[in-house]
Structure 1
Amino acid sequence: MSRRKGFFESRNPVLQEEAFQKASHETLDSGLIVRGEKMTVQGAINKTFILAGIMLLTAWVGFTNPNPIFIWGGAIAGFIVVLIASSRPHLSPTLAPLYAGLEGLFVGGVSAMYAQFFDGIIFQAVTLTMAVLFTMLFIYKAGIIKVTNKLRSGIFMATGAIALVYIVNIVLSLFGINMPFLHDASPIGIGISLLIIGVAAFNLLLDFDNFEKGEQYGAPAYMEWFSGMGLLITLVWLYVEILRLVAIFSSSD
């Protein structure tokens, strides 16, 4: 199996095989991509910073004006935007900033909700999220953990299982039923939260690897926005899970 094919068999939930495969095939078949129009790692990093800036601005709006509409509207609309971008990645230069703005409202609203009950929790959660981000970046750049096809598949399956648990929990909550141990203060609940955070952290490795592989295989420049959005999705997931875990420990003090 060639390395090119291995990259296209990525199991990252956002940066799916079809998106990069279709984008790269369009580049190769049409011959329209010229110098300056291909994806680069630096370009993807720059786009990620832009998206993070947009998210921080709207997060401030959501934090200073806590409203359930911001939380649920941002989460649902953001999810819809991600689905559209996944099937039409060439629209990412428009959809990625839109997602960042919507997700900022969600993050800001959720943060405000937790901040009402726990002093200093936002600073702790942000600090821990950044610590995990840079730790995983060091692990990736140092080659301590190699991103192989087997690792990609394992992370994808673990992420899919967690997503299924989330969906079941939401459905059960509509009937007033809470899934046992999920995000509670019991040792099992804390263990589950740590496991989820671990899976989210390993998704960062896939995001980093896709930045490099996108440049290596000449993906079109719009995939920089798509890749940046993928990293942002992982960071938001990681932050929210860490926020919940810190709240569990704070409530037990």
Structure 2
Amino acid sequence: MRTSNPFLSRWGAARDAAGPADVYARRPVGAAVGGRPADDHLTNPYAPGADTSPRTDRTAVTMDDVIVRTGTTLGTVALTAVLSWLLLPVDEANIGRSYGIAVGAALVAFVLSMIQAFRRTPSPALILGYAAFEGVFLGVLSSTISTYIAPGVVVQAVLGTFAVSASVLVAYRMRWIRVTQRFTGFVAAAATGFLLLLVADLLFSAFGAGNGLGFHSGGLGILFGVIGILLGAAFLALDFRQVEDAVAYGAPREEAWLAAFGLTTTLVWIYLEVLRVLTLFNSDN
């Protein structure tokens, strides 16, 4: 099953409730599945050959690898966000230029993320480039909201993102959240519906209905943002499961960059939705 998350789309998000070994269990290259020769690169991305046990050599990814790469990627986002906040003023004389740079950075970040999503192997340059341009967009957007709409909301949004992430991590580690095939299918369906509503909202806004479907203000906007946060939390649980499986079943070490990419895109999603909810809540009060 392919998802909008690059890490999930690379390795496949579907899981069986019996455990990750059902998906990543070792078997010889070319072993038959359902009476037909199987392509290990599609059905078992970690298969190194005829080895039937998890890899423990130095080329296999470790949790430390994932943590370091994720910290590097998120650090790049944070650094460029702070620099863009400081160097791209959003006062009346410069807001047009800053806004244009932010939109351009968002488009470049999107293009880089799509290129990486369709690559067979992770590219640190693409991933860090995505993080840098995404940080520029987030910095200008956050500065604008903090200056003109809801002062102080950015700090609240950052703390809210940490709170959501920590809560999901605790719930996942305690197995209160069980990432099964049914869970994955539900999240994928819900995310598809959410994105379709976003597209419809943009179209309505562009062709006559200035407020779109009403997701930009009031109780409906807050509700839509809360749904977005819940979806982001669900994708974060999927990310954690993918990282856990990759480490347990010997993914190549370079895939730590892909894990970092997936976690970063999910955390950016959560931050934007938390920022949306807090902005609407503060502006209505």
Using structure 2 for the length normalisation, give the TM-score: 0.78
CA distance in 1, matches of 2:49, 2:166: 38
CA, structure 1 residues 45+88, in 2 after alignment: closer, same or farther (shift >3 Å)?
same
The 3-state SS of whatever aligns with 1:218 is: coil
After superposition, residues 164-179 of structure 1 pair within 5 angstroms as 164-177=196-209, 178-179=211-212
C-alpha displacement of 1:143: 0.7
Greater share of helix: 1
Q: Which amino acid aligns with 1:71?
A: A
Which residue of structure 2 lines up, in the alignment, with residue 16 of structure 1?
A: 8
Q: How has the CA–CA distance of structure 1 residues 22 and 73 changed in structure 2, closer, same or farther, with 3 Å as cutoff? A: farther
For residues 50 and 79 of structure 2, the distance between their equivalents in structure 1, rounded to whole angstroms, comes to 38
Q: 1:91 aligns to what SS in structure 2?
A: coil
* Partner of residue 103, structure 1: 134
Choose the corresponding residue for 2:144, options 113, 130, 137: 113
CA contact (8 A) 1:93 1:222 kept: no
Of all paired residues, the percent bearing the same amino acid is: 28
Shift in Å, 1:14: 2.3
- 1:181 corresponds to which residue? 214
The Cα of 1:233 is off from its aligned counterpart by 0.6
**Are the equivalent residues in 2 in contact too, given 1:19–1:87 (CA < 8 A)?**
no
8 Å CA contact retained: 2:203, 2:212: no
Structure 1 portions without partners, runs of 5+: 1-8
Structure 1: which amino acid aligns with 2:216?
H
- Displacement of 1:89: 4.4
CA distance in 2, matches of 1:158, 1:85: 24
Are residue 38 (structure 1) and residue 60 (structure 2) matched? Answer: yes
The aligned residue for residue 222 of structure 2 is: 190
- Which residue, 103, 106, 121 being the options, matches 1:75? 106
Q: Is the 2:99–2:140 contact (alpha carbons within 8 Å) kept by the matching residues of 1?
A: yes
Work out whether 1:151 is the aligned partner of 2:171. Answer: no
Take 1:14 and 1:131, find their aligned partners in 2: how far apart are those partners?
23
Whether the 8 Å CA contact 2:202–2:212 is kept in 1: the answer is no
Equivalent residue letter for 1:14: P
Q: CA offsets per residue over residues 67-124 of structure 1, 9 Å max, x none?
A: 1233212221111111111111413322111111111011101101101122211111
Shift of residue 27, structure 1, vs aligned partner: 5.5
Q: Which amino acid aligns with 1:154?
A: F
Q: Is 1:227 the equivalent of 2:259? A: yes
Larger gyration radius, structure 1 or structure 2: 2
CA distance change for structure 1 residues 17 and 123 in 2, over 3 Å: closer, same or farther?
Answer: closer
1:53 deviates by 0.9
Q: Which has the higher contact order (CA 8 A, sep 6+)?
A: 1
CA distance in 1, matches of 2:41, 2:99: 38
AA aligned to 1:90 is T
- Give the letter aligned to residue 132 of structure 1: V
Aligned length: 243
Residue type matched to 2:72 in 1? I
Query: Could you say if the C-alpha distance between residues 209 and 97 of structure 1 is closer, same or farther in structure 2, counting changes exceeding 3 Å?
Result: same
Contact 1:92 1:225 in 2 (8 A): yes
TM-score by length of 1: 0.87
Cα separation, partners in 2 of 1:18 and 1:129, compared to 1, 3 Å: closer
Change (3 A) 1:113 1:69: same
Note the C-alpha offset of 1:17. Answer: 4.6
Q: 1:41 to 1:12 in 2, by over 3 A?
A: farther
Which one-letter code corresponds to 2:125 in the other structure?
T
Is the Cα contact below 8 Å between 1:10 and 1:16 reproduced in 2?
A: yes
Distance 1:17 1:124, change over 3 A: closer
- Render the CA deviation track for 1:197-238: whole Å, top value 9, x for unaligned: 111111110111111111122221221111111111111111
Counterpart in the other structure of 1:28: 48
